Structure 1
Amino acid sequence: MAETLQDLGSDRTLLLVDDDETFLRRLAKAMEKRGFEVETADSVTTGKAIAMARPPAFAVCDLRLGDGNGLDVVEAIREKRPDSRIVVLTGYGAIATAVAAVKIGATDYLSKPADATDITNALLAGGDELPPPPENPMSADRVRWEHIQRVYELCDRNVSETARRLNMHRRTLQRILAKRSPR
């Protein structure tokens, strides 16, 4: 059974590292309401500086940040505080990055959009226990759409290059991109 924040003692420090300012603000408010003492950072540089100066008991780090990789922040936290519980968040879920995050010392790995409840459950899951599955997981159509959007952005919004990399017909890709995102 997952521990509660009260079971963990007096150290409730939480470092949130994400370059999406709106998401960071909303998550910080939600985590404060859950009893965490929140500190935020919007870059690898700031996150590492906070981790070195005041290593938190808990951390949530985005994988891709404007100035680098969130795993660098995870390593900095682990170096100063090996017992901290760290969740890595990303909008680009992949098995390889999940394995890398866990090897470096992350407690868990969640794909965006993850809400404050999912994140809290992951942070408070004790030992080898897995947190409960998310209440509203992304649909398979949504996961596919997110992947296509990611590749499209990585190809500088070039439809032909994206279609080639995804091994799909260009017109099929254009139809997918013209539609709204699935729920």
Structure 2
Amino acid sequence: MTDQRRLLIVEDDSTFARTLQRSFERRDYAVWVAQGPAEMEAALEEAHPGYAVVDLKLGSASGLACVERLHAFDPAMLIVVLTGFASIATAVEAIKLGACHYLAKPANTDDIEAAFGKAALGDAAVPIEGRSTSIKTLEWERINETLAETGFNISETARRLGMHRRTLARKLEKKPLR
């Protein structure tokens, strides 16, 4: 087994993490699982992975910080970000911080491996959607963008958006970040 087949999964959903781990192990990857940033740091020294799969929302922590740390650890590492709610703002930030791809859940091992394979290539054939973005979608993307800027601090996000903290909390309850 080469260093290129060493994978670190940073995911707080232990059931999903175990499922991914088993699936990648069947494909001859050596796999380490971390539930958050602290466990990720410990696993990095042992694993020295060539690949990483990072959940965007890790409990109260941001997966974007993990992406930044993984990229600093090894700029050649291929990092795929998974999220239950994809937004343009978080996708752009993930790529800027060093991710090679960004996938919305549900994603399976085939999707993730395909994302690793497309790391150096763009896809000019991706269809451009001609429909306009709804007000609700624009609002949600602005909320996500501001959440990312504030490190997922609800009070500071509400202040920057000019809304009451409880109003923002209610909006987030309707469509939780994952």
TM-score norm. by structure 1 comes to 0.64
Structure 1 gaps, min length 5: 1-5, 134-143, 148-153, 155-160, 167-172, 174-183
Matches within 5 A, 1:3-14: 10-14=3-7
Pairing 1:81–2:74 present: yes
Q: Identify the match of residue 107 of structure 2 among 85, 94, 114.
A: 114
C-alpha distance 51-71 of structure 1, shift in aligned 2 (>3 A): farther
Separation in structure 2 between the aligned mates of residue 48 and residue 128 of structure 1, nearest angstrom: 29
Q: Identify the match of residue 26 of structure 1 among 19, 25, 33.
A: 19
Asked whether the 8 Å contact 1:52–1:80 carries over to 2, the reply is: no
Asked whether the 8 Å contact 2:54–2:82 carries over to 1, the reply is: yes
Corresponding position of 1:62:
55
Shift of 1:29: 0.4
Shift of 1:127: 1.3
Shift of 1:15: 0.2
Corresponding position of 2:85:
92
Corresponding position of 2:65:
72
Structure 2 gaps, min length 5: 127-136, 141-153, 155-166
Larger of the two Rg values belongs to structure: 1
Instruction: Give the aligned length.
Output: 137
Corresponding position of 1:103:
96
Poorly superposed stretches of 4+, deviation over 4 Å = none
Separation in structure 2 between the aligned mates of residue 13 and residue 23 of structure 1, nearest angstrom: 19
Shift of 1:83: 0.4
C-alpha distance 110-126 of structure 1, shift in aligned 2 (>3 A): closer
Give the residue type in structure 2 aligned to 1:16: I
Separation in structure 2 between the aligned mates of residue 49 and residue 73 of structure 1, nearest angstrom: 13
Cα deviation digits, residues 134-180 of structure 1 (max 9, x gap): xxxxxxxxxx9xx8xxxxxx9xxxxxx68x859xxxxxx9xxxxxxx
Pairing 1:40–2:38 present: no
Sequence identity, in percent?
39
Separation in structure 2 between the aligned mates of residue 43 and residue 28 of structure 1, nearest angstrom: 16
C-alpha distance 79-126 of structure 1, shift in aligned 2 (>3 A): closer
